[in-house]
Amino acid sequence: MSTETAAETLDVKGQNCPMPVIKTKGAFDDLAPGEVLEVVATDSGSVSDIAGWAESTDAAELVDQTEATEGGEDVYKHYLRKTE
């Protein structure tokens, strides 16, 4: 999964629980069906939180989650597709 297919990017770096999930929900609502949202976070809890949110949300499909070190901090990227 590459970032080029993401229609929107949500930057929640530096924000902690519960903000990444809440802001993801807000940005996801604005997507058109078929579009992918990229969420960039530094909260390690966002990995399970966003996966859990996607599992419980009918219209959300978790396409991919990546972890990398950027500029000395761990960055977690989540890709969510709106299916309907």
Partner 1 sequence: MSADTPASSAADLDSEAVADLQARIEELETEVSDLRSEVDDDGPQKMVIIATKGTLDMAYPPLILASTAAAFGYDVTVFHTFWGLEILHEENSKDLQLSSVGNPNMPVPNLVGALPGMDRMTTRMMQNKIADNNVASVEELIETSIASGVDLQACQMTIDLLGYDEADFYDGVTTGVGAASAFQDMVEADIQLLV
Annotated active-site positions, please?
17
Helix (H, G, I), strand (E, B) or coil at 70: strand
Our finding on whether 57 is near partner 1 (CB under 8 A) is yes
Q: How far apart are CA 48 and CA 71, in angstroms?
A: 23
Among 3, 5, 9, 16, binds partner 1 (CB under 8 A): 16
Rounded to an integer, what is the distance from CA 31 to the centroid of its chain? 13
Among 15, 47, 61, 75, binds partner 1 (CB under 8 A): 15
Among 5, 9, 11, 17, binds partner 1 (CB under 8 A): 17
Our finding on whether 46 is near partner 1 (CB under 8 A) is no
Q: How far apart are CA 73 and CA 62, in angstroms?
A: 23
Reading the block at residue 57, the tokens are 């949300």
- Where do contacts with partner 1 occur on this chain (CB under 8 A)? 14-19, 21-22, 24-26, 53, 56-57
